[in-house]
Every structure is written in C-alpha cells, then in structure tokens.
Chains A and B, each alone.
Chain A
C-alpha cells in the first residue's frame, strides 16, 4: 500500500494552477472568478440591501448570507440536480461562518449582503474555491472587511500528506492500483490572512493526530499561495497598463 507519485504529477505541497479575476459580473456590486485546476467558482455580491424575510433582520448589524450551488453540468458527466440540497445548505452555512469574522457590517443594521457562488465545473475543493472567490467578491464590492480569507484543502491519500486534493485523490482506492482499501482524509481549511486564524476546519475520513498537524502546517503554506493570487487579481485591474 503506497501512493508514490501523485496522479497528476504534482509535488506533495503543490497546488493546481490557479487563476483569479474580479468584476466578472457587471450587474453585481462585486464579483470574482476563482479557478484552481478544474474547479471553478464564480461569486457575485449584492447589497447591502433590504432583508427578506423581514424577521431575519438584525437591528444591530447587517447580515451576511451565502448561497452555494453546483451547476447541473459541473460534475463528471452525471447531471447534478439544480437547486438547494442538504449538502449545498451545509456548505453555504460553513462559508458564511468562514467569512463572517472578517466582514464588518455594523454600519448597515437591518440590511443583508448576499453572496452567491456558482460552480460551472468541479473537481474537488469546491467549498475552498467558493470561499476564496467570495472573499475577493466582497472586497471588490467595497464591503468593509478586516482581512481577506483564503481557503484550500489538505489531506492524506493513502500514506501521503498532500495539498489541494483532486476528486481522484479523494477516492484514491479507486484510482491508484496500490492503494486498495487505504484511508483517505480531506480537510478543507480557510484562514484569515493576517491573524492566521482558521475560520473553516472540516474533515472527511480518518487521520492520526501527528499527520493532521503536519497537514495543517502544509495547509498554512498553501493558503499563502492562494492569498497571493487573490491579492494580485484584486490589484491588477487598478494598476496602469
């Protein structure tokens, strides 16, 4: 049982190629597109605007509301049922929790900022791509934020600690000859850049304590790379050509 070389030939801590852009949805207050390998997230921010239904409104501060959706054709060929699902609702909830610590809506009581994320194409790591895109879109919308949030998945496929798992690596026992019945873990993390606090930490699968700490350490470095891509995209359209 061993997973020697990664299926796509990357180094253990190497991320898939990333591409980011802001202002992709002219109608929205702010928007961003974030690609990492074959995973692609598009985020659009609307508001602050009036809250409906009314009872959700908070008279002390504005509300942040996320929406996550995979497009019907975004998977590997099987049609994904459009609309909300238990999974989409959970991811929307963890996204909100990941972004809430940095977004300051105290100036906008009784209002809501809506963040919509759509994924035209997916190959694992969607919630991380969604959070990275949403964070850029919020910044583009000019929402007061104390920091940027960047996210990436780390994990363990068979006996190897790796960053930014693909769908095949999350199902390593199916795709690698030597890894039949091997354990896999997938740990999406989101980090607030300057304080290095984690605002999202989930896990699927099994991993030992030592390996988990090693993986998180790897994640910290990987997230720095995501952050660089985000910052570059936010700044480049404002620099004179």
Chain B
C-alpha cells in the first residue's frame, strides 16, 4: 500500500518523509530508504506522476557542462587564464578557447584579459575532481565592460529568467538595461545608473519572493511605467 504524505509545492526539511511504499519514485534531491522516500534538502516539493522531486530553496551551485556563467579572472598562466566561478572550484580558460581570432605565442595575455576582469563564459567540461574548462568562443560570450555585477542565490536563477525568459525580458524592456544572468548566480547589468539600480532592486525582490506565485505581476507593478 503506497501513499504520498505531502502535497505538491510544500516546503519540506531534510529527512522529512515524502511518501511510503514502492509505487512512488525518488526524483532530484530525494532519496529512498527501505520503502520510504525522504527529502535530502530544504526545498519545495514537486510531484509529477509517480516521481517526487524537490526544488532547493537555497544551496550551492552545481557546476554543469553547457551552463553559461559569469566569472572573474584571478590569474594569468602560460596557456590561459584562471577564472573564479564563485564556487569552491576555479575554472581554466585556455588561450585557444578565449577568442575566435588567432592569439600569437608571444602576445601579452593581460592585454586581452586582465586580472579582475569579469567574463561571460560557457562550461565545456567538468571532471570528477571538479577541474573545469570554460570557453569564450560562442556568440554572446565575452569580457564584460562597464555596468555592475549582482550576486544572487543560484537556485533563484530560473525564477529571475522566468518561463521562456519572460521575467528577464520584462525587466530589460522596462528599464532599458542590458542584463546577463550566469547560472552560478552572478548577474551583470548595464544601463543608466537609475536603470541599473532599479534592476538590482527588482532582482532582489524576485530572490526574496521566489517561492511565491504571481511574481511576474509583482515585478511588473514594481517597475511600473519606468523607462
């Protein structure tokens, strides 16, 4: 006899029993012990058919190949740059992957990317030991110039972007700012000082209220007719 003990979209704490019996399947951030399914993180439940998974309410960023992130140059080596990813692990940006143009052997790498420059990069490889390779060759990937960096909880990134990027395009449209959201929780904003400030407040608002519904309307009324 299987039964589910929680409703969809409720907050559960680690260890809490979500379901009993073998008819339900443990999804992300849950685990099975004997015939019960437990939560493995403080999160919001989401039940689809027989699968129970949890959306964490906070938590560290899990580096994933293919993710677009924002990083900071922390070192220049013989073969490239070391990038701080705002996680426990730093990434390597090879000279080969830094630009579509050919970089000569004797070129001064600090002229291309200096220490403390922020870059928008994509993760190309993650090893089991968390050695990370990133690339800057695809369109839209580059060194950022001007603007400001905002740090948010990386679990809120999907909320900031919204379904089919609805939220982020709303903010862009209302404030006229250029915005890039890295999956690691760093957000780059560039526009007028007032616009940047407004974006910063809107993003903080999304972060604080991400577990509630009707967020797009709230953000819309916050941004109002601002332009």
A residues contacting B by CB (< 8 A) are 29-30, 47-50, 59, 62, 102, 104, 107-112, 139-148, 192-194, 230-231, 234-235, 238-240
Contacts and interface: CB of A to CB of B under 8 A. Distances in A.
Given A109-B128, A139-B14, A145 B88 contact: no
B60 A29 contact: yes
Contacts of B44: 238
B88 A108 contact: yes
Contacts of A107: 62
B57 A235 contact: no
Given A148-B15, A239-B11, 10 more contacts: A49-B87, A62-B88, A107-B62, A111-B130, A142-B60, A143-B59, A148-B13, A230-B13, A234-B42, A238-B11
A4 B40 CA distance: 44
B207 to A, nearest CB: 12
Interface in B29-58: 29, 31, 33, 38, 40-44, 56-58
Contact of B59 (A62, A111, A141, A148): A141
Interface residues of B, number: 30
A145 B54 CA distance: 13
B17 interface: yes
Contacts of B60: 29, 47-48, 108, 141-143
A21 to B, nearest CB: 15
B166 to A, nearest CB: 22
17 contacts: A50-B88, A59-B129, A107-B62, A108-B88, A109-B128, A111-B88, A141-B58, A142-B43, A143-B41, A143-B60, A145-B41, A146-B14, A146-B31, A146-B40, A194-B38, A235-B13, A238-B11
A142 B58 contact: yes
B58 A140 contact: yes
Contacts of B11: 234-235, 238-239
B17 A194 contact: yes
Contact of A139 (B42, B87, B89): B42
A111 B88 CA distance: 6
A139 B43 CA distance: 9
A147 B88 contact: no
Interface centre among B13, B129, B130 (most CB of A within 10 A): B13
Contacts of B212: 240
B9 to A, nearest CB: 11
Nearest to A57: B88
Nearest to B59: A142
A238 B57 contact: yes
Nearest to A141: B58
Contacts of A30: 58
Contacts of B87: 48-49
Nearest to A138: B14
A48 B154 CA distance: 13
A147 B59 contact: no
A13 to B, nearest CB: 24
Given A110-B130, A234-B13, A235-B11, A144 B88 contact: no
A238 B211 contact: yes
B135 interface: no
Q: Considering the complex of A and B, which 8 residue pairs feature the smallest CB-CB distances, nearest first?
A: A142-B59, A147-B15, A111-B88, A142-B58, A145-B14, A48-B88, A238-B11, A139-B42
A110 B129 contact: yes
Contacts of B16: 231
Contacts of B184: none
Contacts of A238: 11, 44, 57, 211
Given A48-B87, A145-B15, A104 B42 contact: no
Contacts of A192: 15
A48 B29 CA distance: 17
A145 B29 CA distance: 9
Nearest to A48: B88
B183 interface: no
Given A102-B14, A139-B14, A109 B129 contact: yes
Contacts of A109: 128-130
Interface in B1-38: 11, 13-17, 29, 31, 33, 38
A30 B63 CA distance: 20
Interface string B76-89: 00000000000111
